[in-house]
Structure 1
Amino acid sequence: MRGRDEDTGEFFSPSRSQNRREALEVLALGEKLVSLSEAQLAKLPVPESLLPHIRECKRITAHIAHKRQLAYLAKQMRREDDEVLEALRDALDENGEAARREVAAMHRVENWRERLLEGGDAALAELLDEYPQADRQRLRQLVRNTLDERKRNKPPHAFRELYRELRDAILGAREAGDDADDALPEQD
């Protein structure tokens, strides 16, 4: 029995059904984590204590043993704080706040890349005003190489390298400004 407060008539604890629903939600979250690759897991705020359990669950392929290991992973996940589980759900949710920030940061970098390719030295001066730690010579070289690639219809190696260079410069500025929660993704 859960028990009731004699004065208010409210229950002291959640019902058995509510506990079961919460446990099944954590199990579903564990299944999502197990289905991710190592690179995808590295991008998520997964606690170090859960990583060995996730890897072990990936390793086991026998159906019942996998199911049992997944249940054990869910048990370990339920021991974590609710904030940790919410952060994981938000990071996995394509419509979550973390995903929106990541997409916005990616668009910022792509906009700067296009501005550099179209605006030349004027755009580079603006970029260096905003992000003084950026490497002027390296960016200028990458812009030149990218424009050359476009003229010759070559694969976009310098185009991608320019994105990575800009991402690193902007991310470095964010970390220096203690605004490191905007993660910038890799672009393929």
Structure 2
Amino acid sequence: MANTPADSPDEFSPDDFYGRPSKSQVKREMLALQDLGKQLVDLSSDQLKRLPLGDELHDAIRLAQRTTSREGRRRQIHYVGKLMRKAPAEAIRNQLDIWKNGSRAEAAAMHRLEALRDLLLRDDQALTQLIDDYPQADAKLLHGLVRNARQEARKNAALLQGQEPQRKHYRALFQALKQLDKLDDETPTEAQ
């Protein structure tokens, strides 16, 4: 006798029969889109312009931002959630996450520049290596910034407790390294 779904329940899953998500799953997804829509309503107009939103969704969000009535705002946000079904939700979530937490790549770049600055303050060879690695760098400017930052660090070490340390040259060195890093990123590679 041939096996039927009732004879061997291990061979079939509910997805085989229905081929679609459950009502609960659909509701969870809709509520998530509505929550995302609420987050969009709280954004500034400049941030909204940088998101991949359709005209209808953008207009609905702007209307929700202008609505002052509690019930009217709730209904408008619900409508925004409905329009979110057609929007690229994952791309929007990614951009919101970057705005909220910062890009991991940006954070890593900042940490790398901070470590380089600290190395420059400790080691003379690091400055020579930096100038070799970045021939477009202004060696005289970098040398002056490192020298001033080192003097500033020595003065800060001699401060009494409660006195405010100076960080002007320390920050200026970081900004110079940041500009140098930007120039390096903008320079086209020879492989292109």
In structure 2, the CA distance between the partners of 1:88 and 1:151, relative to structure 1 (3 Å rule), is same
Q: 1:86 to 1:144 in 2, by over 3 A?
A: same
Match of 2:13 in 1: none
Q: Distance between the aligned counterparts of 1:15 and 1:91, measured in 2? A: 32
Matched, 1:84 2:87: no
Q: How far 1:51 sits from its partner (Å)?
A: 7.2
Q: How far did residue 175 of structure 1 move? A: 4.0
Q: CA deviation at 1:126?
A: 1.6
Change (3 A) 1:29 1:135: farther
Quote the offset at 1:112 in angstroms: 0.8
Q: Residue 22 and residue 48 in structure 1: after superposition, are their counterparts in 2 closer, same or farther (change >3 A)?
A: closer
Q: Extract unaligned runs of 5+ from structure 1.
A: 1-7, 179-188
Amino acid at match of 2:25: Q
Give the percent of matched residue pairs that are identical in Structure 1 and Structure 2.
36
- Residue in structure 1 matching 2:167, options 156, 175, 178: 156
Gaps of 5+ in 2: 1-15, 157-164
AA in 2 matched with 1:100 = R
Between structure 1 and structure 2, the one with the greater Rg is 2
Q: CA deviation at 1:61?
A: 5.7
Tell me the SS of whatever aligns to 1:113. helix
Q: How far did residue 138 of structure 1 move?
A: 2.9
Question: Would you say how many aligned residue pairs link Structure 1 and Structure 2?
Answer: 163
Question: Aligned pair 1:10/2:15, yes or no?
Answer: no
One-letter identity of the residue aligned with 2:106:
E
1:45-84 Cα offsets, whole Å, 9 max, x none, are 6337677766765565654444344444444544322441
The alignment status of 1:172 with 2:183, answered yes or no, reads yes
Give the letter for the 1:164 counterpart. Answer: Q
> Structure 1 residues 82 and 115 mapped into 2: Cα distance closer, same or farther (>3 Å)?
same
Alpha-carbon distance, 1:117 to partner: 1.3
Is the 1:33–1:54 contact (alpha carbons within 8 Å) kept by the matching residues of 2?
yes
Q: Supply the RMSD in Å over aligned alpha carbons.
A: 3.7
CA distance 1:109–1:14, change in 2 (3 Å): same
Deviations along 1:142-171, whole A, 9 cap, x unmatched? Answer: 223322333343431222222222123223
Residues 1:137 and 2:140 are matched in the alignment: yes
Q: Greater shift after overlay, 57-66 or 13-22? A: 57-66
Aligned with 2:149: secondary structure? helix
Within the alignment, does 1:118 sit opposite 2:122 as a pair? Answer: yes
Cα–Cα, structure 1 residues 140 and 85, in superposed 2: closer, same or farther, change >3 Å? same
Secondary structure in 1 aligned to 2:174? Answer: helix
Q: 1:18 to 1:162 in 2, by over 3 A?
A: same
Q: What letter matches 1:81 in structure 2?
A: P
